[in-house]
Amino acid sequence: MSKSTQYVSRQPDANGVIHWSDEENLVWHDLVARQMEIIRGRACDEFMHGLELLNLPQDRIPQLDEVNQVLAKTTGWQVAQVPALINFDEFFKLLANKQFPVATFIRSREEFDYLQEPDIFHEIFGHCPLLTNKAFAHFTHTYGKLGYAASKQDRVYLARLYWFTVEFGLLKQANELRIYGGGILSSPGETLYALESDKPERHDMVALEALRTPYRIDIMQPVYYTLQGLDDLFGLAEMDMMALVEQAKQLGLHTPKFPPKPQKIAS
């Protein structure tokens, strides 16, 4: 997670309503309109079905209660308003309690195309549609429980599994690759790159290999892992993941497929 951010989450009023500005609602509108054009035929069917169920407004940022009503009926999940940044203890605790953290801020025009911090567009549009799916919801819940009980060192390994599934996962559907990872589906550039570029490697999902694969958050991903279908997440959830973490620690990490992150030079 980022150590600092320029963004501050908006707080709800006494009735639980967040009052967004006209410009913030317009940013949401423009993000949704652009991304809807790009994900058609590229997002998995389950994601598109989840979008239909959520029926997100396009002209304004949805209120969290609107999303919660749908999630409660489908999988029993809820979204929870959080500050712009939370620590790993809070993150895993929320997931373990079937609550998905949503930072209630939206990116500025200056960072319209790319934002490292997960804003409300990333969380609501990118992730919540699949929280209506039982396999995805079960995996995310199980992951949260594992992470909450894990040591700090083990959480670093678990973070890689989350990255290559919930955030940047691909799957096979109708004899072609589709996207289910929210980090891809909320990014127009990565949506195209993940499926159509010849640069990244795409491997069948093997949990042990994902646990050993380094990643960077500020580049297009050089490696993706692919499920045979979204229901594979049920199988992943039932694995002895902490035993695999121990095995991954013994084997060590794979060589990164990317250069080191440039170091900032102090002025």
Known binding-site positions for Fe cation: 122, 127, 167
Specify the amino acid at residue 107. R
Six-digit token pair at 12?
Answer: 């709800």
Phi/psi of residue 172, nearest 5 degrees: -100, 135
| Number of other residues whose CB lies within 10 A of the CB of residue 222 | 15
Instruction: Enumerate the known binding-site residues.
Output: 122, 127, 167
Alpha helices (H) in the chain, listed in sequence order: 22-39, 45-54, 64-74, 88-96, 120, 134-149, 152-162, 182-185, 188-196, 207-211, 232-238, 241-251
The span from the CA of 60 to the CA of 241, in Å, is 40
Residue 138, Cα to own-chain centre: how many angstroms?
15
Q: Does the annotation mark 167 as catalytic?
A: yes
Q: Does the annotation mark 122 as catalytic?
A: yes
State the catalytic residue, choosing from 46, 123, 167, 190. 167
State the catalytic residue, choosing from 9, 24, 123, 127. 127
Q: Are 193 and 209 in contact (CB under 8 A)?
A: no
Question: In this structure, is the dihedral angle defined by the CA atoms of residues 229, 96, 54 and 132, taken in order, positive or negative?
Answer: positive
Six-digit token pair at 81?
Answer: 């308003």
State the catalytic residue, choosing from 141, 186, 190, 209. 186
Nearest-5° Cα angle at 163, 160 to 167? 170
Q: Does the annotation mark 2 as catalytic?
A: no
Q: Does the annotation mark 186 as catalytic?
A: yes
Question: In this structure, is the dihedral angle defined by the CA atoms of residues 22, 23, 28 and 30, taken in order, positive or negative?
Answer: positive
Active-site annotation, residues: 122, 127, 167, 186
